[in-house]
Every structure is written in structure tokens, then in C-alpha cells.
Amino acid sequence: MSTPLTREQLARRIARAIPDGAFVNLGIGLPDQIPDHIPADREIFLHSENGILNLGPRPPAGEENWDLINAGKQPVTLRTGGSFFDSSLSFAMMRGGHLDISVLGAFQVSATGDLANWSTGIGEGVPAVGGAMDLAVGAKQIWVMMEHTSRHGHARIVKECSYPLTARGVVKRIFSNLAVIAVTPDGLEVEEILPGLSLEALRAQTEAPLRPGAMRPLEG
């Protein structure tokens, strides 16, 4: 079996999937790497919920401006024509259906596209709700970017989420380091799969049922 995609390769794969002219929110965590891989021939407007539109790639080491950060508190750059605004306007964009896609991390996704990405329900820390719920119901499409299993080897794509839900039935596509999976009315369909990985082997790492789709090779 080929080596699972690295986080950088996964970010590159998702960047290629974003259509020209799209307005796209990037969630905290893994999606933070996507701006570094936006194809040069596409005009894609990246949004950060702390009030930035038209994000650029991460700045070179030593050239960071710590007054210019994304929602994950990481230094970013701004593309020509970019803008800043307050949280009320940012959340109006998120809630008002103005974002074409939101790419979010997740703890779990269910067989019907339920999303759990704000709390594991374990521990005494304050749950980091952030804008996840607003994005989950406000963006036109929700894509999930995550590693296929947890660090302990537990399936993240499950029949039913056991963690507190962010929203029900909102996820349209799952991009993992092993496969690209579409959430359809007929269930989860494998669009792309890591070369050398069989459908049976993928199913062994996925709790929810999977059915074959195009089964194209997954390339980072």
C-alpha cells in the first residue's frame, strides 16, 4: 500500500478541488495549510472568521506580521484586494449563505453527514465552539479535512457520531489521507482512494458503510 497522504499533500488535494471564483472559509487546524497550495491560475477568496477576506499563503519565516493572523492565531498574508472587518460582519457572511464552501476539521463524521468537530465530551476544559456551528449551517457546502483514523487507530467516519454534534447532515465531502468520500442520499461513496489500498482495507478503517464510486487514484 502507498504511504497515506501527508497533511501538506492533503491540503494540496483540497486546494485543487476548489472551483475558480469560490468564496471559501478555512477552519482552524488542518485547513490552515490550504492557502499555501491554491493554484496560481485560480481566483479563490479565502475567508477567516476573525474578519479577513482574501487570505494569502503563510509568510516566509522571519517575515511574520503578528498583527495579521487567522482564526487559529497563525500569521498569514493578504492578497491584493483583501480586506479586514469586525466579527459582526464576518459572522453575517458566515450565517447569510455568502460562503460557497467551508473546509473544517472534524473529530467524527457520520454515515449521513452529521458533523462533530467542537468537543469530544471528555475533560474539564472549556469546549472550543468558535464559529463552527455558524459555518456548518451557513456555508453552501461543508467539506471535512481529516486523517482517516484517530491517533489511537479509532475510526473517525462512523455510523453515528458519539461526540457532541455540531450539525446534522451538513457534510458533503470528506477528504482524508486515505480517500475522498462523497456523502450522498444513498450513503458514503468512495470517489478517490489511495493507490494500492483496496476498498476492503479502507472499509476496515471505516465504521460507516462505504460503497464504490469512481474509485480514482488519490494523489496529493
**Contact by Cβ (8 Å): 164, 121:** yes
**Does residue 49 have an active-site annotation?**
yes
The SS3 of residue 19 is: coil
The neighbouring-strand residues paired with 143 are: 103, 173
Mean pLDDT in residue range 184-196: 97
Q: State the pLDDT confidence band at 123, using cuts at 50, 70 and 90.
A: low
Catalytic residue among 49, 124, 147, 207: 49
Cell of 80: 491584493
119 C-beta neighbours (distance < 10 Å), count = 18
Residue 91: name the closest of 111, 68, 71, 117 by CA.
71
Residue 84: name the closest of 67, 101, 105 by CA.
67
Q: State the pLDDT confidence band at 125, using cuts at 50, 70 and 90.
A: low
**Contact by Cβ (8 Å): 22, 44:** yes
Q: Measured between alpha carbons, how far is 44 from 78 in angstroms, rounded to an integer?
A: 12
**Contact by Cβ (8 Å): 53, 82:** yes
Question: pLDDT tens for residues 55-73?
Answer: 999 999 999 999 999 998 9
Mean pLDDT in residue range 135-156: 96
Q: Which element (helix H / strand E) includes 83?
A: strand 78-84
Q: Measured between alpha carbons, how far is 89 from 80 in angstroms, rounded to an integer?
A: 20
Gyration radius (Cα) of the chain, Å? 17
The neighbouring-strand residues paired with 149 are: 155
